[in-house]
Amino acid sequence: VGVTEAPDVDEVVARAQRGDRAAFSELFRRHRGDVGRLVFRMLGPTPDAEDVVQEVFLQVHRSLGEFRGQAKFTTWLHRVTVNVVLMVRRAARSRPVFAGEPVADQEPDRGLLPDEDAARYARIAAFRRLLDRLPEKKRTVFVLHEIEGLAPIEIAEIVDAPVLTVRTRLFYARRELAVMMRDEPTLAQLAEELAGGREGGRANGGRSAEGPMSAILGDDGAQASAETEAT
């Protein structure tokens, strides 16, 4: 899932840099969906999503003068988005957590659901909790690559790190997630079901297990394991 870049985006950016409000609005309308999706994928369901998206575009407006076109605009926009999201997460962590804060505010009310959908949402919620436990750098590259579908070379530009470092983080993120899933009953059960073949059809219906994820100890891992990285 990449970000569509219209041919004339450079011209729109240039006009916005010159202070053209209409051009900035055009940038907002053109890219708001991409930003909203990335915010959602990095933060999960949150009532703050609109504020975060707004903050991203405010930062874009402030920093647009510094965009020199060395990277694609969408890559730069991803970088701003990632940085704002990380800042939001850090700000949230620096505040003491309220005891007994209602979780209901964080999860949308999905109403009554068929059993299978309910189980899927429970799995997704559990997986998001595991993602939250990953160190920030690993979590970021995991989301950008596995969920958002960006290539490591582009992620390297976004997080300002060498490609090899990105692959390293990816490798360890996958490995740590796989380990954490063992202790999460909902997800451990999924692995058991897959082992029993009860869920085989669904697993094969998704992306091939020979994709990047199968490289947990494969290509990415072979390269990454040569490099140690502090977290």
* DSSP secondary structure letter of residue 129: H
| Sole residue written with tokens 């360890």 | 172
Which residue, 163 or 181, has its beta carbon nearer to another protein?
181
Which residue, 128 or 163, has its beta carbon nearer to another protein?
128
| C-alpha–C-alpha distance, residues 154 and 166, integer Å | 10
Which residue, 9 or 171, has its beta carbon nearer to another protein?
171
Task: Find the shortest distance in angstroms from Cβ 147 to another protein.
Answer: 6
To which H or E segment does residue 172 belong? helix 163-182
Question: CB–CB of 167/220 below 8 Å?
Answer: yes
Task: Find the shortest distance in angstroms from Cβ 215 to another protein.
Answer: 9
Which residue, 15 or 41, has its beta carbon nearer to another protein?
41
Task: Find the shortest distance in angstroms from Cβ 104 to another protein.
Answer: 10
Question: CB–CB of 140/86 below 8 Å?
Answer: yes
Task: Find the shortest distance in angstroms from Cβ 216 to another protein.
Answer: 6
Task: Find the shortest distance in angstroms from Cβ 199 to another protein.
Answer: 7
Question: CB–CB of 223/166 below 8 Å?
Answer: no
To which H or E segment does residue 5 belong? none
Which residue, 2 or 45, has its beta carbon nearer to another protein?
45
| C-alpha–C-alpha distance, residues 171 and 179, integer Å | 13
Question: CB–CB of 175/220 below 8 Å?
Answer: no
